[in-house]
Structure 1
Amino acid sequence: MSDVKQWLTDQVSVHLGHPVVRSDVLLAEYGLDSVHAMGLAAAIEDEWGLVVDPAVTWDHPTIDELATFLTGELSRTADESAG
């Protein structure tokens, strides 16, 4: 999960223009809006091939929560591929 969390932290920092991003702060506090959410969802798909709805950032509103969700989804899709 640490790789996912670090990647998300880097992405949020770049996309939202904040040099320091804490993983426990609501993404909305950094200025995340629907346009940024779509960009982040597209970046997730590009990085891991995982298609997520941009609303995932509202369902999992911090980097910590989003990283936990994505790690679970990546594990689930890997299990399905192996099975």
Structure 2
Amino acid sequence: MQDVRTWLIQRVATYLRRDADGIDTSQPLTEYGLDSLTALAISTDIEDEFGLELDPALTWDHPSIDALATVLTAMIEEKVS
């Protein structure tokens, strides 16, 4: 399974039309222009990629890639065990 953080960086870069190397993973994604539609699309992609069911507010509750990767990794580990 692909590293969650790396996968998130690539997805966010694609949706926000930015170079992945230019994304500061500690910054809130709203600072890069993340809106509710994009957040929902990313949540759907996460569900598809990792087989999780997410609360749509998860992206807003964990607004940076670092924060989101931490919670998703824990969810994946819980699912596997």
CA displacement at 1:14 relative to structure 2:
0.3
CA displacement at 1:18 relative to structure 2:
1.4
Render the CA deviation track for 1:42-81: whole Å, top value 9, x for unaligned. Answer: 10011011111221111101000000000000011111xx
Q: Which runs of 5+ in 1 are unaligned?
A: none
Number of equivalent positions: 78
Bigger-Rg structure (1/2): 1
Counterpart of 2:65 in structure 1 is 63
How high is the TM-score relative to the length of structure 1? 0.88
Counterpart of 2:33 in structure 1 is 31
Aligned residue type for 2:16:
L
Find runs of 4+ consecutive structure 1 residues off by over 2 angstroms: none
Q: Which runs of 5+ in 2 are unaligned?
A: none
Rounded to whole Å, the distance in 2 between the matches of 1:56 and 1:17 is 22
Aligned residue type for 1:13:
A
Rounded to whole Å, the distance in 2 between the matches of 1:62 and 1:54 is 15
Counterpart of 2:12 in structure 1 is 12
Render the CA deviation track for 1:10-48: whole Å, top value 9, x for unaligned. Answer: 000001111121111110001111100110011001101
